[in-house]
Amino acid sequence: MSWAIFRWERHVRLCGAAVRVPLLREVVTVGTSSTEPLADTVPSAELTLTGDLARPVRLSVSDLAAWPQYRVRVSFERATSGVRRHRFAGPLLHDVLRAAGPVFDPARRKDRLRFLIAVTGADGHHVLLSWAEIDPDFGHAPVLLATRVDDTSLEGPGPQLVLPQDRCGARYVSGVDTIRVDGSYGPWT
């Protein structure tokens, strides 16, 4: 059996899982001795919106870049590397999810408040947010699905979840590949 390792910015894909390594300059097929040069293009990561949505969809960074772009300057603490400062640009998570049509029940008062949002990165990092955090009628947190960081496109590695209001960077998710909206919580379930 041979496995292919493909260049992907600062990650490689090994049998579907992202692994952080230095940039590679060639494709190596493990299990054989053959190598071949990489193409100049970086594979485009896709994000899947799924769950309790009327219109589940797959979006690329290019698709997200077509939305109105919000820009933020952030600084956050990381346990391993101290304070980080970056500039991010991208659409609001709330706007992207609203377009996918969360299936709120209009017969239930404030039904949207029971919805959770699970965000997963290609490296397996995942976080939960509540709909109330991003909803303009409640928390109105300016959470972004960043398409650019420090003027560099995230086309290859995929969008990044950015929470400018967080002091700690633990909820920033790089290479977001899945967002699941789930409203199956509440006393009636």
Predicted structure pTM score: 0.75
Q: What are phi and psi of 112, to 5 degrees?
A: -60, -20
Q: What is the pLDDT of residues 42-70, one digit of tens each?
A: 567 899 999 999 999 999 999 999 999 99
Average pLDDT over residues 27-56: 65
Q: What is the pLDDT of residues 104-117, one digit of tens each?
A: 998 988 899 999 99
Compare 15 and 70 and report the one with higher pLDDT.
70
| CA atoms of 189 and 182, how far apart (whole Å) | 12
Residue 125 vs residues 17, 24, 62: alpha-carbon distances, Å: 12, 23, 23
Residue 78 identity: R
CB 70 within 8 A of CB 144: yes
Burial of 131 by CB count in 10 Å (0-12 exposed, 13-18 middle, 19+ buried)? buried
What percent of the chain has a predicted confidence (pLDDT) above 70?
Answer: 75
CB 47 within 8 A of CB 59: yes
Half-sphere exposure of 80 (CA within 13 A, CB side): 1
CB 159 within 8 A of CB 69: no
Cα-Cα-Cα-Cα torsion 123, 85, 73, 10, nearest 10 degrees, comes to -30
- The DSSP call for residue 111 is G
Q: What is the pLDDT of residues 122-170, one digit of tens each?
A: 999 999 999 999 999 999 999 999 999 999 999 999 999 999 998 888 8
Q: What is the pLDDT of residue 71?
A: 96
Helix-, strand-, coil-residue percentages of the chain, each rounded to 5: 10, 45, 45
Cα-Cα-Cα-Cα torsion 165, 167, 173, 179, nearest 10 degrees, comes to -40
CB 5 within 8 A of CB 14: yes
Q: What is the pLDDT of residue 153?
A: 95
